[in-house]
Amino acid sequence: MKFRTFAAFVGPSVFMMIVFIALPLIFVFLQSFQVTQPIREMVEVETCTPGFLTQTCTVEVKSQPVLDENGNVQTETRWVGFESYANVLQMGRVWDAISSGAIAQIGNIDFWKALRFTLTFTLLTLPLVIGLGLAIALAVNNAARSIRGQVIFISLLPFIITPVIGALSIRWLFYGDGIVTAWLEMLFNTDISVAANGWAVEFLMMFYRVWHVAPFAFVIFYAGLQTVNQDTLESAIIDGASRWERLRYVIIPHLMPLIVFIALIHLMDAYRAFEEVVGFSSQAQRITLQWLTYDFLQPDDAGNRSISRASASAMLTMIGIVVILMPLLRKTWRDHRGGH
Amino acid sequence: MATPKALRQSVALRAGSAAFLTFWCLLAAFPLFWVLVMSFKSPVDAFDANPLAVIFGPRTLSDGNGLSIVDIVVGLAVLIYAVRFAFTGLPRMVRAFTSPGYIVAGWAIGAVGFAVVFVLLFFGLLPILLNVLNALVGPLGEPVLGLTTEHYKAVWVENEFYRNFLNSMLVTGGVVTVSLTVGTLAGYGLARSGSNLAFWILIAALVFRALPHSVLVAGYLPVFINSAEILSPILGENAPTLYGQPLAVIAVLVAINQPFTIWMLRSFFQSIPVELDEAARVDGCTHLQAFRLVIMPVMWPGVITTGLFSFLLGYNDFLVTSLLLDAQNQTMVPAIAGYFNRETTTTDQVEAIAAAVSITAPLFLLVMVFQRQIVSGLTAGAVKG
């Protein structure tokens, strides 16, 4: 294919990715070193209140925003270096906490709180998703052919459902007087308030994520199981391998590329977890890195969005993405070089 | 053929495997099933600690909203018949009444017509008919199962949820159409070119796929809010404010979706033999003609599968739409956040549940119709690399 034909085919897509993904990334990078604020000026204001004989007048210096001729607030954009990063990271408080020996204090700073939760969330759900997905795939592969279609249909539901709604549907089972909480209360004969307990909420968020992603892993493992080499399995049986050994030494090595694939996709997606915080309304207890950026972008009570801080936290989130992607990119590069 | 003795499984293993599968199916379906049941009950019943009270809804029943045995039997029969007709009679009719070139339009008209007839019959004619029947059959006509649709009425009519629904359809429809048009072209180009540039585009797309969406939105927001000012030197007075525009959100979602779309379509295009292009080229087609006349007709399964995933991305999105659209153009998923955040009374909560079920229903239909395509789409990416 000639270069010009190739460019004509790929052009629109590349254009969209440059305008709406690459350029915004550069903007965010620049914004994270800038601050845009309304220009304020100091004005002496004399306020007089009528008093006995003479008026009582006070003069105070007020800071007020400068308006342009249309009555809009004038803003200025300054380069501030790493100030926004410092605002997000709050290293001063971190060092204080470390030097005073109260490491738990770090958990009160939004960024570190979000980082702690996002990493725990990502790493703990990973083995659960792969394990559950593999178990379902093996069980379905073991089941009668006639029911496989229905089982796949039911399994796809948690995966296909809108993430916020999926999180909500689990929240409604537990929060307040939810039915499962009612059962647990009957079982243990105590009062349980799930929404008030940070660890319970954290557990529910992880439970939701595993429930949501395991079907994806299951479908891919199930497809992989169909291509297991039957001859190898038979020779393993002749060699006297038990069922467990066949799973361990024949089936799992065969599925290994798929396990790596699912692990990578899951790391990418769980690292940018966001919908769980919205669905479980957990912002008081547990937040994720992407939610932190989202929160900075939301207008506050005065209608201001802290764009610079959002950009700084977004760039910090990116570091993790690069770390996760590194092995994948290196492998793809090696395959590409080897392919030529 | 009998299973060889060595491969035969012990009873315990088979029972364990079946039990595990049952447990998983319950786990997968229960939250959704329970939410569906709750959405039809009065708030007191919906949040009852006794599961039987939630299912049978005694207080919903005493409020005068209930179904008799006759209602349930007739209603279920109509539902089952409708579903069976949708899978057997409808395809036959569509095939009989459309000429081969217009099969997609035929399906669209068939589906919409089926939906309209079903709604008219099920919600218009059936209640009137059942009222008469219930009066005739005596004890069988007494209501036994509490069920109310008041929350759905409150959500769709009083809270004007249909506006959000239309916005969702606009955004989702736009995302699917544009990303498929742009994506098929790129996917074809990438599948047929082995150049280094193609490789680097794919790698960049892979990196872009991993980006958190909030990072990108942080880049759009200041530009979109001030776009009237920024664009005015070029467009003059007519420069639009992009913030709050569904069209701008469509563009953003298409771009976010592009990396995934081109990877998936590329793998589908690679499964079509190159000889097919070459034959067309020998017969005198240009690349574009070969693509349009020869390759696209055999690509429909791949395009439908990719379209499904674009649909899911546009339909399920919360982050981008909630930040870039204002209240009057809001789509369904962010709009639901308004319900559970105010959550002052249990009535509000049940209304939120009804809204959630309304959002889920189209997805449920989607899995029913396109299960095979979704499974093939999920595996296409994984198995081929």
Q: Could you report the per-residue pLDDT of A241-260, keeping only the tens digit for each?
A: 788 888 888 888 888 888 88
Q: Is residue B12 part of a domain?
A: no
**Which of A150, A159, A171, A172 should we substitute to test contact with B (largest number of B Cβ atoms within 10 Å)?**
A172
Question: Of the candidates A21, A164, A332, which has its C-beta nearest B216's C-beta?
Answer: A21
Quick one: CA dihedral A65, A67, A73, A75, positive or negative?
A: negative
Asked if pLDDT for residue A57 goes beyond 80, the answer is no
The pLDDT tens digits for B293-348 are: 888 888 887 888 888 888 888 888 888 888 888 777 788 888 887 776 655 677 77
- CATH fold for the domain made of A110-339: MetI-like fold (1.10.3720)
> What is the residue range of B127's domain?
28-154
Yes or no, beta carbons of A1 and B287 under 8 Å apart:
yes
For residue A43, list its beta bridge partners.
A62
How far off is chain B from A116, nearest CA to CA, in Å? 17
Residues B141 and B166 in one domain: no
For residue A59, list its beta bridge partners.
A46
The residue among B212, B305, B225, B221 whose CA lies nearest residue B263 is B305
Yes or no, beta carbons of B207 and A12 under 8 Å apart:
no
Chains A and B form CB pairs within 8 A to the count of 286
What stretch of H or E contains B162? Answer: helix B161-192
Segment 72-91 of chain A within 8 Å of chain B by CB: none
Yes or no, beta carbons of B382 and A258 under 8 Å apart:
yes
How far off is chain A from B150, nearest CA to CA, in Å? 20
Residues B149 and B164 in one domain: no
Q: Is residue B21 part of a domain?
A: no
Least confident among A148-152, A225-229, B77-81, B106-110: B106-110
Residues B221 and B72 in one domain: no
Residues B264 and B136 in one domain: no
ipTM value > 0.85: no
Residues B169 and B143 in one domain: no
Yes or no, beta carbons of A21 and B255 under 8 Å apart:
yes
Residues B376 and B299 in one domain: yes
Residues B126 and B65 in one domain: yes
B50: nearest CA partner in chain A: A179
| DSSP 8-state class, residue B2 | P
Asked if pLDDT for residue A128 goes beyond 90, the answer is yes
Question: Of the candidates B17, B25, B185, which has its C-beta nearest A142's C-beta?
Answer: B17
Question: Of the candidates B29, B54, B197, which has its C-beta nearest A157's C-beta?
Answer: B29
User: Which single residue is written with the structure tokens 């997609």?
Assistant: B104
The domain boundary, picked from B102, B124, B154, lies at B154
Domain count, chain B: 2
- Residue B372: CATH number of its domain: 1.10.3720.10
Residues B266 and B145 in one domain: no
| Reported confidence tier of residue B6, pLDDT bands at 50, 70, 90 | low
Domain ranges (residues) in chain A:
110-339
Residues of A in contact with B218 (CB under 8 A): 24, 28, 31, 293, 296-297, 307, 310-311, 314
Yes or no, beta carbons of A321 and B316 under 8 Å apart:
no
Phi-psi region of B21 (alpha: psi -120 to 50; beta: other; left: phi over 0): alpha
Residues B60 and B194 in one domain: no
Residues B216 and B359 in one domain: yes
Q: Is residue B347 part of a domain?
A: yes
Quick one: CA dihedral A283, A288, A292, A294, positive or negative?
A: negative
The pLDDT tens digits for A195-225 are: 777 788 888 889 999 999 998 888 888 888 8
C-alpha angle B156-B157-B158 in degrees, rounded to nearest 5: 110
